[in-house]
């Protein structure tokens, strides 16, 4: 069996196993051990994290795949990888600071908007 077919089969089995673990969590464990409020909170946090991850990653994974092979020397590769590591921090740190410092204003705005509707 070729390397590609072997790795594809292993990847497929691991993916199915991961979906199975997720299904057991969502269908049995969460519903049996968490109340409705906590289950809703977990579902919201997982959904929000799935939405925010591509925004916070800032396209680094695609850039890394595309341009890593263009680096000729080892020093160039190390500099490129370091830049790709720190690049999302340029977005994450300001957003975190704004959220932390403006939490009260954001909460007030959301509460005001909810009470009008």
Q: What is the mean pLDDT of residues 103-115?
A: 79
What whole-number distance in Å separates Cα of residue 29 and Cα of residue 36? 13
Q: Residue 20: what pLDDT?
A: 96
Answer whether residue 16 shows pLDDT above 70. yes
Count helices and strands (H / E) in the chain: 7, 0
More confident residue, 56 or 105: 105
Q: Residue 40: what pLDDT?
A: 87
Q: Give the pLDDT band (50/70/90) at residue 69.
A: confident
């Amino acid at each position: 069996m070729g390397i590609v077919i072997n790795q594809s089969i292993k990847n497929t089995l691991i993916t199915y196993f991961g979906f199975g673990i997720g299904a057991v969590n969502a269908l049995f464990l969460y519903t049996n051990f968490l109340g409705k409020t906590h289950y809703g909170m977990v579902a919201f946090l997982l959904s929000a994290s799935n939405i925010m991850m591509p925004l916070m990653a800032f396209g680094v994974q695609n850039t890394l795949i595309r341009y890593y092979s263009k680096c000729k020397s080892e020093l160039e590769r190390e500099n490129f990888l370091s830049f790709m590591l720190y690049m999302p921090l340029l977005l994450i740190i300001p957003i975190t600071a704004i959220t932390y410092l403006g939490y009260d204003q954001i909460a007030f705005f959301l509460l005001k908007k909810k009470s009008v509707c």
